[in-house]
Chains A and B, each alone.
Chain A
Amino acid sequence: DIVMTQAPLSVSVTPGESASISCRSSKSLLHSNGITYVYWYLQKPGKSPQLLIYRMSNLASGVPDRFSGSGSETDFTLKISRVEAEDVGIYYCGQLLENPYTFGAGTKLELK
Chain B
Amino acid sequence: QVQLKESGPGLVQPSQTLSLTCTVSGFSLTSNSVHWVRQPPGKGLEWVGAIWSGGSTDYNSALKSRLSISRDTSKSQVFLKMNSLQTEDTAIYFCTRRRDFDYWGQGVMVTVSS
> Once the chains bind, are A50 and B44 in contact (CB under 8 Å)?
no
- Chain B: how many interface residues by the 8 Å CB criterion? 21
Residue from B44, B101, B107 within 8 A of A39 (CB atoms) = B101
Contact B100 A54 (CB under 8 A): yes
Range of interface residues on A (Cβ < 8 Å): 20 to 34
A100 to B106, CA, bound (A): 22
A37 to B99, CA, bound (A): 10
A100 and B61 contact, CB distance less than 8 A: yes
A to B CB contacts below 8 Å, 12 in the list: A41-B45, A49-B96, A49-B104, A51-B103, A55-B100, A60-B102, A92-B44, A94-B45, A96-B100, A99-B58, A100-B61, A106-B44
8 tightest Cβ-Cβ pairs between the two chains A and B: A101-B47, A48-B104, A100-B60, A103-B45, A54-B100, A51-B102, A105-B44, A106-B44
Residues of chain A lying within 8 A (CB to CB) of residue B62? 100
Q: Could you tell me which residues of chain A, from 24 to 39, have a CB within 8 Å of some CB in chain B?
A: 39
Judged by DSSP, the binding face of B is: loop
Shortest CB distance B106–A (Å): 6
Query: Are A96 and B106 neighbours in the complex by a CB distance under 8 Å?
Result: no
Do residues A104 and B107 form an inter-chain contact, with CB atoms below 8 A?
no
The reply on A102 being an interface residue by CB < 8 A is: yes
Q: Which residues of chain B are within 8 angstroms of A60 by Cβ–Cβ distance?
A: 102
Inter-chain residue pair count (beta carbon < 8 A)? 50
- List the A side residues contacting B96 at CB < 8 Å: 49
Chain A contacts for B72, CB-based, 8 A? none
Closest to A37 in B: B99
Write the nearest CB–CB distance from A29 to chain B, whole angstroms: 13
Query: Which of A49, A94, A104 has its CB near the most chain B CB atoms (within 10 A)?
Result: A49
Contacts of B47 in A (CB 8 A): 100-103
Q: Is there an interface contact between B101 and A49, defined as CB atoms closer than 8 Å?
A: yes
Contact of B104 among A50, A55, A92, A104 (CB under 8 A): A50
